[in-house]
Structure 1
Amino acid sequence: MSDKDSALDYWRANVRIILVSLVIWAVVSFGLGIVLRPALKGIMVGGADLGFWFAQQGSIYVFLVLIFVYAWLMNRLDRKYGVEE
């Protein structure tokens, strides 16, 4: 495999990780916090309905996990293609 092919494969994998992260971000923040909030109204979490919880606190927890998962995946990808720091 040439360096150009390797760089292209690395970039494709990088973009795939970013796109999956963005989809998760959109589903959690917009989907669960806004669109599905009325459907989640009957489920109580910590004294508030689940839709409100996702809009106010749950999305923050998911975003924090997403940051660590992204960093872990990118470090693994960097090691695989030999571009680690």
Structure 2
Amino acid sequence: EEKSIFSKHLTQAEDWLYDEGEDAQSDIYHEKLHSLKKFGNPIIERYQAHHKKIEDEKRAAIEKAEAERKAKLDAEAAEAKAAADVKKE
């Protein structure tokens, strides 16, 4: 629904540009642009938020895997040290 409404506004703006836009004042261009941004900006913001969420999830997964790897290495090092200490005795 939102897509078709925005598409309709874009088509109307395009038609206006080719018909009356040549002779229009810059104030009218700014009004038309503002009107299009009113519809388009929320779409862009949702798109950006979605991709940011995906990137944040990827980053969190990488950080978790790295923390698990470090914990495993630390545990292995502690075991090796304990085994070496036992051999010294």
TM tier, smaller: 0.3 to 0.5
Q: Larger C-alpha radius of gyration, 1 or 2?
A: 2
Structure (1 or 2) with the greater strand fraction: 1
**TM-score normalized by the length of structure 1:** 0.40
**TM-score normalized by the length of structure 2:** 0.38
Structure (1 or 2) with the greater helix fraction: 2
